Amino acid sequence: MFFNTLPFIFFFGVIFSLYYLLPSRFRANVLLVFSLIFFISNSLLFIFVILFLVLLDYYTIKLFNKRQSFKKTVLIFSISVNLIFLTLFKYINFLFTSLNSIGINFFVNIPQTFYEVFIPLGFSFFVFKSISLLVDSFRDTLKEKPTLRDLFLYFLFFPSVLSGPIDRPGALLKQFGNINDDFSNNIKTGLSFILLGYIKKSVIADRLSFFVDLTYGNIDNSSWLQILVAVVFYSFQIYLDFSGYSDMALGFARMLGIDIMQNFEKPYFSKSIQDFWKKWHVSLSTWLRDYLFLPLAYSSTRVLYRFRITPKSIEKFSYVYSILITMFLAGLWHGANSTFVLWGLIMGVYIVLSFLTRKQRSRFKKFTGLNRHKSFVSVFQTVFLFIIVSFAWIFFRAQSADEAVKIASKLLFPDFGGSNLFLLNTGKVSAEFSVYYPFALIAFIVLIEKYNLRERILYVFDNHGVIFRYALIIIMILFILFAGNFSANQFIYFKF
């Protein structure tokens, strides 16, 4: 049962109405009960693993208070247990296969049933949340020690349990005991995010997927132009799919008076790759920054200061080293597959190059007088960023590294010799629907984002009467139902 299915809407209807109809002291309990049902309906037996890990975290935090001397050991132990589980569920097959391919054979055969039964949806998100909780508790940045109920809610809160956002414990835990009671504002803001989420996911992303799947599934017979269109479509598909999910999560949480992190802040309007990563999957990128990049950078800087190296070189080396490790692990976090690792490394290289060339680029702009044409530079930067990010997405989407290289080389070294530049064979689906309609949808979403239409509609909403408001909501719902594709397309990020 996912957000983009009809049963979920009615499931939410039950939660939402009970939540506000019952006395406020029951609200957190209502959330916990329905979050458990939601989780179990998606990942049945895995609940036992989750229960174990939540209890482990709970008692670890308790031990932090009692045994100050063992704090670090306890922290390392608990994080290790989390990581062992993550490895067991996500990476063990990849590890053994990789080792087998280089001649190291393990006589361990993990039965398929294991994976069939324990398919842990959203486990990577769970582990990152858990590490956040443990580290923040270790650093004493949590104002209050969480109760067991709140801890379960922190991990299992249904809007964010499957694909995040990876909320910080401090921000989320305090809300469960003090839920925002502004009913009309909760509804209005929540609904606006939910509707936008459905437009992104069901109306646009799932329409783009047809052409993307068709082309990526048949690279050998696809022309340069067709691959180019598919690569562009995929850049939008992954953004709209994931940000659509995040908007829905945010909207459903908001309707219940709980604020969760906004995961996307119009990343494709960024001007640099660093800027992009501040706006793309914000909860993950800030997590990586706080719990991986900064500790790595500090520790490497400390080590390098022992040698006679200039502070500038230390800064450069430590940045490059920490970024590459962080982005490598970010790639690996997405999945046990060389394509994700390559994607992470490509992104890491982009960031490093951008960091190392920032002075030269600034000098170049001055030298050529480009710094006087800010709007031109701004457009160029946005387009250039979109191109390089789209190139990286090829590795993210391809089934294998070989396939990604094939797509990239077909794209970079086009063969225009063929009789038809656009070898489009979309079966019986018309070209208008498979190519031109998605382009129109992309233009539509770009306009929504560029001109902040969600906020504008909210403004209009506030300044009109009840009939207008209801009519507006009904029209939008009917539009989504009619234009949307609801044939059970899962969210791309669920597999992570």
Question: Could you say which of 105, 375, 463, 487 contacts other proteins (CB under 8 A)?
Answer: 487
**Contact assessment for residue 46 and residue 195, using Cβ atoms and an 8 Å cutoff:** no
Token pair 């069939």: residue: 116
What stretch of H or E contains 373? none
Q: Is 6 in the site for other proteins (CB under 8 A)?
A: yes
Q: Is 117 in the site for other proteins (CB under 8 A)?
A: yes
Three-state SS for 147?
coil
Q: Is 436 in the site for other proteins (CB under 8 A)?
A: no
- Nearer to other proteins by Cβ, of 80 and 218: the residue is 218
- Nearer to other proteins by Cβ, of 384 and 433: the residue is 433
Cα–Cα dist 410/222, whole Å: 9
Q: Is 179 in the site for other proteins (CB under 8 A)?
A: no
CA geometry: angle at 279 spanning 276 and 281, to 5°?
105
If you ran DSSP here, which 8-state letter would residue 426 be given? -
Cα–Cα dist 331/343, whole Å: 6
Question: Could you say which of 140, 144, 181, 402 contacts other proteins (CB under 8 A)?
Answer: 181
Token pair for 397: 């989407």
Among 247, 242, 244, 241, residue whose Cα is nearest residue 208: 241
Q: Is 475 in the site for other proteins (CB under 8 A)?
A: no
Q: Is 49 in the site for other proteins (CB under 8 A)?
A: no
Question: Could you say which of 303, 429, 447, 474 contacts other proteins (CB under 8 A)?
Answer: 429
Q: Is 432 in the site for other proteins (CB under 8 A)?
A: yes
User: What letter represents residue 71's amino acid?
Assistant: K
Query: Distances in Å between the alpha carbon of 88 and those of 36, 115, 123?
Result: 23, 10, 11
**What sign does the CA torsion over 66, 69, 70, 76 have?**
positive
Token pair for 304: 């390098």
- Nearer to other proteins by Cβ, of 315 and 403: the residue is 403
Cα–Cα dist 335/333, whole Å: 5
Cα–Cα dist 117/44, whole Å: 8
- Nearer to other proteins by Cβ, of 44 and 171: the residue is 44
User: What letter represents residue 101's amino acid?
Assistant: S
Q: Is 482 in the site for other proteins (CB under 8 A)?
A: yes
Find the shortest distance in angstroms from Cβ 45 to other proteins.
Answer: 6
If you ran DSSP here, which 8-state letter would residue 268 be given? G
Find the shortest distance in angstroms from Cβ 47 to other proteins.
Answer: 10
- Nearer to other proteins by Cβ, of 129 and 254: the residue is 254
**What sign does the CA torsion over 263, 32, 47, 45 have?**
negative
Q: Is 109 in the site for other proteins (CB under 8 A)?
A: no
Segment interacting with other proteins, rule: CB under 8 A, options 9-17, 102-110, 138-146, 442-450: 9-17
Cα–Cα dist 206/4, whole Å: 11
Question: Could you say which of 26, 29, 33, 44 contacts other proteins (CB under 8 A)?
Answer: 44
Find the shortest distance in angstroms from Cβ 375 to other proteins.
Answer: 38
Find the shortest distance in angstroms from Cβ 455 to other proteins.
Answer: 25
Angle of helix 183-198 versus helix 466-483 axis, rounded to 10: 30
Token pair for 32: 């916990």
Q: Is 183 in the site for other proteins (CB under 8 A)?
A: yes
Q: Is 45 in the site for other proteins (CB under 8 A)?
A: yes
Q: Is 113 in the site for other proteins (CB under 8 A)?
A: yes
Cα–Cα dist 99/122, whole Å: 26
Three-state SS for 480?
helix
Question: Could you say which of 3, 4, 16, 394 contacts other proteins (CB under 8 A)?
Answer: 16
Token pair for 196: 């936008």
Q: Is 220 in the site for other proteins (CB under 8 A)?
A: no
Find the shortest distance in angstroms from Cβ 10 to other proteins.
Answer: 4
Find the shortest distance in angstroms from Cβ 25 to other proteins.
Answer: 15
Q: Is 52 in the site for other proteins (CB under 8 A)?
A: no
Find the shortest distance in angstroms from Cβ 398 to other proteins.
Answer: 19
Find the shortest distance in angstroms from Cβ 255 to other proteins.
Answer: 11
Residues in binding contact with other proteins, number by CB under 8 A: 35
Find the shortest distance in angstroms from Cβ 486 to other proteins.
Answer: 9
Q: Is 40 in the site for other proteins (CB under 8 A)?
A: yes
The number of residues in the chain equals 496
Segment interacting with other proteins, rule: CB under 8 A, options 34-42, 164-172, 275-283, 316-324: 34-42
Among 16, 285, 339, residue whose Cα is nearest residue 128: 285
**Contact assessment for residue 279 and residue 267, using Cβ atoms and an 8 Å cutoff:** yes
Residue ranges that bind other proteins, judged by CB under 8 A:
1, 5-8, 10-11, 13-14, 16-18, 20-21, 37, 40-41, 44-45, 113-114, 116-117, 181, 183, 427-430, 432-433, 437, 481-482, 487
